């Protein structure tokens, strides 16, 4: 219906003046500029959230959320401690804000970040120092930061179960509370009910290592309200942290739970600790314990977008965890992005800080504030191709990647063979397990026949060869004893300068200077020690690896003793990577036994024979088989005169600390 009511005519100049005045006010008045539609979050100008809110005046509070569990068996529901820092201005104006959440077991035992920051509190029990920069940077931009002590750690009830239902539920319950589906209280026991009336329920989880692992686990529950996760060097299946296809990688998970549990949990969680020991035998068998800690199988439930970050030389949380999670998410069409660095177990804040912070801001602005800043349309993958030199790809693995079969051949010299696309030929190579040696020893002697390994190499490459993704090595092998562990290692033979991922900083060195990201209070500085790349020049570079227990050739469910001399066929999964072997270098595959310091040895010392005609390597080559071109036989490999000293194998004690 058209109204016939007369509307007084207003001079157009008056309208223009009014519009200009309103626009000017929006541009200059803090806290009054346009907000992202429907979010009620931070102030957004020029496609970015702006630091318009006071960090000094932010609301700091603690809430204990009921998880619905009683892991410590005290007859009361477990409550997990939730420390909150949120801007005061939106709350006063009735606007609701999104949440950036980091759920961790490390807030009191070990600390977070390169400077091992822990939570500190005032006399009232409210947080003073929140580790890392998230609160300093994002609270002024209209986000709340929420730091959760996982069950059994710091100020939380319950027991640590190392990535299991209790760990995941203790974080999921907080997402539920933020969305009005769980109960929160003002105290660990008793207290008043507390509701999260200040948030719109949009949550992004972030964290490195165990923290990011919990983000994966919570996302795999499909919980409503979790809009995005940013897992950094994180586990997707806990079996694959402790074993690799039956081969034990480190001591059992009970060590890790004992390491992070609070004193009260130590006293109350003996029964849960025994469940962990009983459920995770060192046989390498897949048990129900591992099924409960496998998030990959539930990738179909993931509703959140995923920004994954992984060090390709991470020997703590190995890239198999990233690769299988990424592949599962890809199959489900999850919105995703990835950064792959040349570091080990390192946060991107400490190797690419000036790019990481604004990228993370734009990611959260888009998925939590609803800002259409285009980040979801930008290249999917950032890859550190050389030290501090990054390239991008529209998708990952790289477009034009093809699963390419390569065969193993003999050369007439025992222990030295060929790797190429030629048809398989009859032959065999043998090695004797030596647990005192590891991949660096093998690679340093790649052109020398030694009894503990066999090496298969291409000719000198005529053009760059890019491997993008995770490959496999299928071997048909027989053991002289009833047990055998296998290692398969890809090596770039040729000179290059790389990050020293085997050094103490795993590819970074910490400087004396600081740079600041965000606002400060007397108890929480936004200024962090700067870092620089820690590099070394090498003549070989191990860039992917995989291990297996040959006794699990039939199934991961149950390993069997080997029949000496009887051939078994097993496919070893190689860690996901993205590496270019330059023209003038050679690609090598080393097949050996115990990779000392990275896997534990078998209970015998076998001699293993590999049937070359019944073995095959499948690599994700960009451009497929046509990309593997070599120069004529007899060409001299580039720069193989100086050998990289073989570094000592990493200790299991260090690797067992996830942080």
Domains annotated for the chain, with CATH where assigned, are 50-393 (3.40.50.1820), 401-498+537-647 (2.60.120.260)
| pLDDT, position 266 | 86
- The whole-number pLDDT of residue 634 equals 54
Q: What is the predicted pLDDT for the residue at 251?
A: 83
Q: How far is CA 10 from each of CA 2, 7, 14, 15, 17, rounded to the nearest angstrom?
A: 20, 9, 7, 7, 12
Out of 35, 244, 345, 540, the active site residue is 345
Q: Is 558 a catalytic residue?
A: no
Residue 365 a catalytic site member: no
Report the alpha-carbon distance of residue 544 to residue 542 in Å, rounded.
6
What phi and psi values does residue 395 have, to the nearest 5 degrees? -150, 165
Q: What confidence category does residue 43 fall into, taking pLDDT thresholds of 50, 70 and 90?
A: confident
Please state the rounded mean pLDDT for residues 142-171: 97
Judge whether residue 11 has pLDDT over 90: no
**Average pLDDT for residues 646-658, to the nearest whole number?**
52
Whether the per-residue pLDDT at 273 is higher than 90: the answer is: yes
| Catalytic (active site) residue 244 | no
Average confidence (pLDDT) over 361-373: 97
- What was the pLDDT predicted at 110? 93
Q: If pLDDT is split at 50, 70 and 90, which confidence band does 422 have? A: confident
Coil, helix or strand at residue 18: helix
| pLDDT computed for residue 5 by the predictor | 29
- Asked if pLDDT for residue 423 goes beyond 90, the answer is no
pLDDT confidence of residue 187:
97
Average pLDDT over residues 519-544: 98
Q: What is the pLDDT of residues 595-616, one digit of tens each?
A: 999 999 999 999 999 999 999 9
Give residue for tokens 């970015």: 48
* pLDDT tens per residue across span 51-106: 999 999 999 999 999 999 999 899 999 999 999 999 999 999 999 999 999 999 99
pLDDT score for 657: 61
pLDDT level of residue 267 (50, 70, 90 thresholds): confident
| Torsion angles phi and psi, residue 406, rounded to 5 | -120, 145
Categorize the per-residue pLDDT at 647 as very low, low, confident or very high, splitting at 50, 70 and 90.
Answer: low
**pLDDT for position 199:** 97
The mean of the pLDDT values for the chain is: 91
DSSP designation for 374: S
Alpha-carbon distances, residue 26 vs 20, 29, 51, 92 (angstroms): 10, 6, 15, 19
Q: Kindly tell me if the per-residue pLDDT of 329 is higher than 90.
A: yes
Residues 32-36 have a mean pLDDT of 37
Q: What distance in Å separates the CA atoms of residue 26 and residue 93, rounded to the nearest whole number?
A: 16
Provide the pLDDT for residue 14.
35
Whole-angstrom distance, CA of residue 317 vs CA of residue 158: 26
Model confidence at 637, pLDDT cuts 50, 70, 90, reads low
Provide the pLDDT for residue 10.
31
Question: Two tokens at 118?
Answer: 């822990």
* Tens of pLDDT, residues 294-326: 999 999 999 999 999 999 999 999 999 999 999
User: Catalytic: which of 52, 167, 314, 595?
Assistant: 314
Model confidence at 654, pLDDT cuts 50, 70, 90, reads very low
pTM for the structure as a whole: 0.91
Percent of the chain with pLDDT over 70: 90
- Mean pLDDT over residues 438-444, rounded? 97
Q: Is 347 exposed, middle or buried (0-12, 13-18, 19+ CB in 10 A)?
A: buried
Q: Which two tokens stand for residue 642?
A: 């100086």
pLDDT mean over 262-273: 91
**Residue 151: pLDDT band with limits 50, 70, 90:** very high
């Amino acid at each position: 219906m058209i109204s016939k009511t007369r509307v007084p005519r207003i001079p157009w100049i008056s309208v223009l003046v009014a519009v200009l005045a309103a626009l000017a006010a929006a541009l200059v008045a803090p806290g009054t500029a346009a907000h992202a539609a429907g979010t009620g979050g931070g102030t957004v100008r020029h496609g970015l959230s702006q630091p318009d809110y006071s960090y000094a005046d932010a609301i700091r509070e603690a809430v204990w959320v009921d998880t619905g569990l009683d892991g410590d068996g005290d007859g009361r529901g477990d409550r997990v401690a939730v420390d909150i820092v949120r801007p005061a201005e939106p709350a006063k104006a009735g606007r609701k804000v999104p949440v950036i959440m980091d759920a961790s077991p490390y807030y009191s035992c070990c600390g977070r970040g390169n400077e091992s920051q822990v939570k500190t509190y005032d006399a009232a029990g409210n947080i003073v120092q929140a580790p890392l920069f998230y609160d300093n940077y994002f609270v002024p931009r209209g986000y709340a930061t929420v730091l959760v002590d996982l069950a059994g750690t710091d100020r939380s009830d319950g027991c640590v179960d190392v990535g299991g239902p209790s760990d995941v539920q203790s974080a999921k319950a907080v997402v539920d509370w933020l969305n009005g589906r769980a109960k929160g209280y003002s105290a660990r026991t008793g207290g008043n009910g507390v509701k999260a009336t200040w948030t719109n329920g949009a949550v992004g989880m972030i964290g490195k290592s165990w923290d990011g692992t919990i983000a994966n686990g919570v996302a795999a529950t499909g919980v409503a309200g979790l809009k995005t996760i940013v897992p950094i060097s994180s586990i997707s299946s806990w079996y694959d942290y402790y074993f690799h296809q039956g081969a034990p990688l480190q001591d059992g998970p009970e060590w890790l739970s004992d390491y992070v549990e609070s004193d009260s949990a130590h006293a109350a969680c003996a029964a849960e600790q025994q469940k962990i020991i009983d459920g995770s035998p060192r046989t390498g068998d897949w048990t129900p314990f591992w099924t409960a800690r496998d998030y990959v199988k539930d990738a179909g439930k993931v509703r959140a977008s995923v920004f994954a970050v992984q060090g390709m030389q991470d020997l703590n949380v190995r890239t198999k965890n990233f690769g299988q999670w990424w592949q599962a998410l890809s199959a489900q069409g999850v919105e995703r992005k990835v950064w792959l660095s040349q570091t080990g177990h390192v946060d991107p804040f400490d190797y690419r800080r000036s790019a990481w912070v604004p990228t993370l801001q734009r990611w959260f602005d888009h998925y939590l504030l609803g800002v259409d800043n285009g980040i979801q349309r930008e290249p999917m993958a950032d890859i550190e191709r050389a030290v501090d030199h990054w390239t991008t790809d529209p998708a990952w693995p790289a477009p034009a990647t093809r699963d390419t079969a390569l065969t193993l051949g003999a050369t007439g010299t025992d222990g030295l063979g060929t790797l190429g696309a030629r048809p398989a030929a009859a032959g065999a190579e043998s090695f004797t397990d030596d647990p005192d040696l590891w991949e660096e020893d093998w690679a340093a002697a790649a052109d020398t026949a030694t009894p503990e390994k066999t090496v298969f190499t291409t000719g000198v490459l005529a053009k760059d060869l890019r491997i993008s993704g995770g490959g496999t090595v299928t071997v048909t092998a027989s053991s002289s004893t009833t047990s055998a562990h296998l290692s398969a290692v890809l090596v770039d033979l040729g000179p290059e300068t790389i990050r020293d991922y085997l050094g103490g900083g795993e590819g970074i060195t910490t400087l004396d200077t600081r740079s600041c990201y965000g606002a400060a209070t007397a108890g929480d500085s936004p200024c962090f020690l700067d870092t620089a790349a820690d590099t070394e020049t090498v003549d070989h570079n191990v860039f992917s690896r995989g291990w297996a227990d040959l006794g699990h050739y039939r199934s991961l469910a149950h390993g069997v003793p080997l029949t000496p001399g009887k051939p078994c066929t097993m496919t070893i999964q190689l860690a996901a990577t993205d590496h270019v072997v330059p023209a003038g270098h050679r690609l090598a595959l080393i097949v050996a036994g115990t990779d000392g310091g990275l896997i534990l040895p078998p209970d015998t010392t076998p001699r293993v024979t590999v049937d070359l005609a019944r073995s095959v390597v499948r690599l994700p080559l960009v451009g497929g088989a046509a990309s593997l071109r070599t120069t004529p036989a007899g060409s001299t490999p580039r720069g193989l005169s100086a050998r990289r000293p073989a570094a000592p194998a990493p200790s299991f004690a260090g690797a067992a600390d996830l942080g």
